[in-house]
Structure 1
Amino acid sequence: MKPDAINWTPPPRDESRPPAEVRRILRLFRPYRGRLALVGLLVGASSLVSVASPFLLREILDTAIPQGRTGLLSLLALGMILTAVTNSVFGVLQTLISTTVGQRVMHDLRTAVYAQLQRMPLAFFTRTRTGEVQSRIANDIGGMQATVTSTATSLVSNLTAVIATVVAMLALDWRLTLVSLLLLPVFVWISRRVGRERKKITTRRQKQMAAMAATVTESLSVSGILLGRTMGRADSLTKGFAEESEKLVDLEVRSSMAGRWRMSTIGIVMAAMPAVIYWAAGLALQSGGPAVSIGTLVAFVSLQQGLFRPAVSLLSTGVDMQTSLALFQRIFEYLDLEVDITEPESPVRLERIRGEIRFEDVDFSYDEKSGPTLSGIDVTVPAGGSLAVVGPTGSGKSTLSYLVPRLYDVTAGRVTLDGVDVRDLDFDTLARAVGVVSQETYLFHASVADNLRFAKPDATDAEIEAAARAAQIHDHIASLPDGYDTLVGERGYRFSGGEKQRLAIARTILRDPPVLVLDEATSALDTRTEFAVQEAIDALSEGRTTITIAHRLSTVRDADQIVVLDHGRTAERGSHEELLQRGGRYAALVRRDTQLAPATS
């Protein structure tokens, strides 16, 4: 059974608890609390300075102008100008620091999600669309930018401004303040309802964006383009993408307009409040109540108008934060994924690796429903020895090879390297010890040299060329216009299957591991090229432990021992000659290859 058959599903979501805990979000900002404290000081200072302007205005209207005090008038006017300048300077510094902190938090989140995904088992990636993963890192974290860069600061700034303004309004006239704040509880209730509504829409919108990203990644890759054009499906793919995009348009509009009329009502009421204040002051005067001076009235209205912007912004910030919780939830879902393969608390590090591999009564299954993929495997490969694993499709050959570099952990039994369980080794030792060339070669969209150096970043040009020569690919690379600087193209499509396979072999040769795992490494090569590469592999394998997974038996005849798997169990084992003499399953596989050879040559 191949890993593609793994039935991975994400963990169930607990609907009974909040989607993202506020404490967890606040912890993201903990490393930057010093800078955030400075932002808080700037916000507080800015709010206090802003409140001073209406008081200066009252003194101008009630004292300086009526009494003709030119000097006092000049000082008060200068104070208002300095207040505006100071506010601008504080605002710029506040924006710089808060944006820097926000971007650092986004960087931390992106890095944490990427590092978490690097640790996930292969089961996760075989069942998750690549576009979905990319969307979480790009769209979801990108959508949180406003929250982590400006929303938090805006919340503190507006809250401070509202509190300071209300205190100043109370100092001017407590009766007019009560009139101004009468409808505040209704406004808060409206904003909370709008926030919940937008949060639901945002969750659906992000899922739709992830679906579109997956569609783009799959259909606009080299493989997707080739399949679409050769199948004549370009128009239908475009139509399908248009339908997905149309759904996103609808969700974007709904997200933007959710609660818009209700929030507009708040704005209209707030904008009409000066008229209400003038009306209330007039009624109080006519009813024989305490008179309000012109300066106090103008200053109060100025404060009330100043309250309008932070109050509405504060309500909108609350809506934005509720919306952002949906994005944080999607990110936290990835960060909370269980990592199956972890390094032990006290890992073993091997300085000198001989390369003895043992499979000791190994059982393995991908899940309980599918049943065992491997059962009771007992094989020892001495240091420097060679093992070939053959068998029909689905017999567990590739699965067995994945247990050595610990791409999966055994269900029972153990796999050892030089007598140490691979689960007890540190990751660096295991990576240095085992080199894998799989049947599916992956090359990055980079130069040939960069692809080879992925195995050994500090490799010299001479070492790269030597590895390429050993893999029988140097002459072809040298014939290219840019030689080793030639871009391989998306997934290496500038090279044939055999050329890509030889590049993968060269990459492994460059790493020079003590243990080689060749998972049908020559399956994409023609007979002539396979013979040349097999010579290079044979030379490389001298003195190294080699485990070869083969479908075509021509590559395993010289192996020290051959194991035949059938339905995950050892059906036969022995050398090529011994197994032929027995006339069992291996002999039948050899006869099959012999009969197919004329048709495939």
Structure 2
Amino acid sequence: MSGASGLRTGGASPFSRLYGLLTPAHRRKLLVLALLVFASGFFEIAGVASIMPFMGMIVDPRLALENRWIAPLHQLFPLSPREFMMLLGAIVLGVLFLSNLVSALTTWSILRFSFTAGRDLSKMMFAVYLNHPYLFFLGRNTSELAQNTLFEIGRLVNNILIPFLTVLSRTVIVLFILGLLLVVNPEIALLSGLVLGGAYGGIYLLVRRSLSRTGQEVSKENSRRFQVASETFSGIKDIKILGREEAFFNLFAIPVERYTYFQAKSQMVSLLPRYAMETLAFGGIIVIVLALLSMGGNLATTLPLISLYALAGYRLMPSLQQIFANWSLIRFNLPAIDKVVSDIESLPGREPAKPEPRDVSIPNVPSPVSQPLPLRREICLSEVSFSYPGREEKVLDRVSLTIPANVSVGIVGSTGSGKTTTLDILLGLLEPGEGELRIDGIPVTAKNRRQWQASLGYVPQQIMLIDDTVKNNIAFGIPEGEIEMDRVVRAARLAHLHDFILSELPKGYDTGIGERGVRLSGGQRQRIGIARALYHDPAVLVLDEATSALDNMTESVIMEALATLSRQKTILMVAHRLTTVRDCDMIVVLDRGRISDIGTYHELMEREGIFASMVRGGVSG
């Protein structure tokens, strides 16, 4: 959002776009909140107006018999002047108490509504991200996604939604009080409204562009803060070894300092008018008093009016200051709406948010399927081509490959040959630009992709471990009460991990492994990854350079574990070390996005082609 865009984004105001994301339940609550705001305004003027007859009674007790508002009450309660004065004072206090009570209830309702809506928006955004295809995440920084889900939603709630509703409630109160003053004395009321409103409006017009630009800078610097912090702690081992702590501290310090400066600037702008306006307002009350006295008024007629204007000023000034401060806060934080709404609207198949009521709800998060797509005969890539967004060259160019069931297949090639892209298409993470992936002759489409993925067990080069027990890492993502221990133990045995767990870990399968498995060796982490892939007994086991970071001895142990699965499962393996694929039934050699050769290790060596050159040259796959 640019500063010149004002309060409008993408053809619709940010508030209408935000309103379009609210559920029908939220909108019903907004209606109830609007009624409460008007009730608050009514009780506010009742509290302010009640001071006039009370102050009039203090100066002239005869008003109990003459005033059109007080006389009916005196007839209902025929008390002595002193007793009636006490009754009237109690009524005034009661009205003021009730006014404050309704105001407090309104504030509570605003907070309750805002945080509830923020909770649902945060869940909605998280669900939207989970629903995006894998390709979406290749073009986004994960720290930015975490920032949007947590920080930007919090910023939207605390600095836009709550302030906006507060501005509306305070505006209603200001209008009600000005309306009361207009009835009592139109000239003074109009003058007061024009002076105070004009002063605040003028100041806002002077600073609004600066607030917009500052808000954008805060979003940018905050994203940078998250990114540097995330990257630093993820790579702390390398940073420690290389002694780069100071360099990364400086990288973090720059956006932190700029973020703090822009936050302080915003706060100062929002508070700046307060001091001048308080002087102006109370100076205005003195002017009103002098004007009333100069017009020949006596104490009995002027004191109630003076009290009314004093109390009205006392209630008006905080409301006007809150309107200005909160509107400045909104202007400053408008980029948060753009970030949140744009990302939620970016989900494929989702219509942009519209201000009119519609059935908006949190997207369904894909759940595991009960029936995997079976593999009985073959996996087939048919004339598959693929290009990444923003790149014209094809990463894969008309690749055709048939993989029989229950064989082991190695995929090798130099860097940039298309190995990872081929594997991602086989995994159903990427959709071919041309051609198709077929399982036993059935094309893999959006409708059955989840079923195909349920037939897969995937072991990446870097195993993603959670700070939890060995058991929960093997059964990854399954609720504690639904984990089947016999499956966990079976998978651990197949991964040659069971004996280590029982003999070396103090609590066996219930031993915590620390953040990212810091208490385990590389080989142990890799075997947990293999056990995780085997937990569901998949038909296909896919290894993406799963042993490339391991020493030869550890790799041989893991390859031995995989050998026990030979002929039981289809094994697809992208290998970093070419010797790793020596025992595969079939090796596929990729070169510049095309299949260069296919055969066994010995067949490829005898042909003296690219594969043989890579092996003899010591080139890794």
Q: TM-score band, normalised by the shorter chain?
A: 0.7 to 0.9
> Structure 1: which 5+ runs fail to align?
1-11, 597-601
- Equivalent residue for 1:198, pick from 206, 211, 215: 211
> Structure 2: which 5+ runs fail to align?
63-80, 351-362
Q: C-alpha distance in 1, partners of 2:291/2:211?
A: 37
Secondary structure of the residue aligned to 1:220 is: helix
Give the drift of 1:467.
0.9
| Change in 2 beyond 3 A, CA 1:256/1:247 | same
Query: 2:336 matched to which residue of 1?
Result: 327
Q: C-alpha distance in 2, partners of 1:392/1:454?
A: 33
Secondary structure of the residue aligned to 2:296 is: helix
| Change in 2 beyond 3 A, CA 1:114/1:427 | farther
Query: 1:21 matched to which residue of 2?
Result: 14
Query: 1:420 matched to which residue of 2?
Result: 442
**Contact 1:274–1:305 (CA<8 Å) still a contact in 2?**
no
Query: What pairs with 1:407-556 in structure 2 (closer than 5 Å)?
Result: 407-454=429-476, 456-457=478-479, 458-478=482-502, 479-556=504-581
- Equivalent residue for 2:609, pick from 574, 581, 584: 584
Give the drift of 1:277.
1.2
Cα deviation, 1:17-36, whole Å, max 9, x if unaligned, reads 82352211223445322323
| Change in 2 beyond 3 A, CA 1:523/1:227 | closer
| Change in 2 beyond 3 A, CA 1:149/1:76 | farther
Give the drift of 1:443.
1.2
Secondary structure of the residue aligned to 2:401 is: strand
Query: 1:3 matched to which residue of 2?
Result: none
Secondary structure of the residue aligned to 2:402 is: strand
- Equivalent residue for 1:365, pick from 354, 365, 387: 387
**Contact 2:222–2:259 (CA<8 Å) still a contact in 1?**
yes
1:210 aligns with 2:223: yes
1:310 aligns with 2:310: no
1:41 aligns with 2:27: no
Q: C-alpha distance in 1, partners of 2:506/2:131?
A: 39
- Equivalent residue for 1:401, pick from 414, 417, 423: 423
Cα deviation, 1:514-562, whole Å, max 9, x if unaligned, reads 2222222232344343333223323335343322222334443443432
Give the drift of 1:57.
2.1
Q: C-alpha distance in 2, partners of 1:252/1:129?
A: 24
**Contact 1:271–1:308 (CA<8 Å) still a contact in 2?**
no
Alignment: residue pair count: 575
Query: What pairs with 1:271-290 in structure 2 (closer than 5 Å)?
Result: 271-285=282-296
1:250 aligns with 2:243: no
Give the drift of 1:378.
0.9
**Contact 1:194–1:259 (CA<8 Å) still a contact in 2?**
no
Query: 1:230 matched to which residue of 2?
Result: 241
Query: 2:168 matched to which residue of 1?
Result: 156
- Equivalent residue for 1:172, pick from 168, 179, 184: 184
Give the drift of 1:96.
3.1
RMSD, aligned CA? 3.1
Q: C-alpha distance in 1, partners of 2:509/2:141?
A: 33
Give the drift of 1:494.
2.1
* Further displaced range: 438-447 or 63-72: 63-72
1:569 aligns with 2:594: yes
Q: C-alpha distance in 1, partners of 2:498/2:417?
A: 36
Give the drift of 1:357.
1.4
**Contact 1:579–1:586 (CA<8 Å) still a contact in 2?**
yes
**Contact 1:451–1:507 (CA<8 Å) still a contact in 2?**
yes
> What is the one-letter code of the residue matched to 2:144?
E
Give the drift of 1:473.
1.6
Q: C-alpha distance in 2, partners of 1:232/1:543?
A: 48
> What is the one-letter code of the residue matched to 1:38?
V
Secondary structure of the residue aligned to 1:133 is: helix
Give the drift of 1:568.
1.5
| Change in 2 beyond 3 A, CA 1:192/1:146 | farther
Cα deviation, 1:108-158, whole Å, max 9, x if unaligned, reads 222222223334455554554443333323332222232456323322321
Secondary structure of the residue aligned to 1:563 is: strand
* Further displaced range: 431-440 or 531-540: 531-540
| Change in 2 beyond 3 A, CA 1:541/1:370 | farther
Query: 1:6 matched to which residue of 2?
Result: none
Cα deviation, 1:301-353, whole Å, max 9, x if unaligned, reads 3223322222222232322222231221232343344659999xxxx996651
> What is the one-letter code of the residue matched to 1:131?
S
Give the drift of 1:432.
0.8
1:56 aligns with 2:63: no
What TM-score, normalized by structure 2, do the two folds share?
A: 0.84
Secondary structure of the residue aligned to 1:366 is: coil
| Change in 2 beyond 3 A, CA 1:110/1:566 | same
Q: C-alpha distance in 1, partners of 2:258/2:164?
A: 31
**Contact 1:196–1:323 (CA<8 Å) still a contact in 2?**
no
Q: C-alpha distance in 1, partners of 2:29/2:348?
A: 34
Secondary structure of the residue aligned to 2:445 is: helix
**Contact 1:455–1:508 (CA<8 Å) still a contact in 2?**
no
Secondary structure of the residue aligned to 2:489 is: helix
**Contact 2:266–2:329 (CA<8 Å) still a contact in 1?**
no
Secondary structure of the residue aligned to 2:253 is: helix
Give the drift of 1:464.
1.1
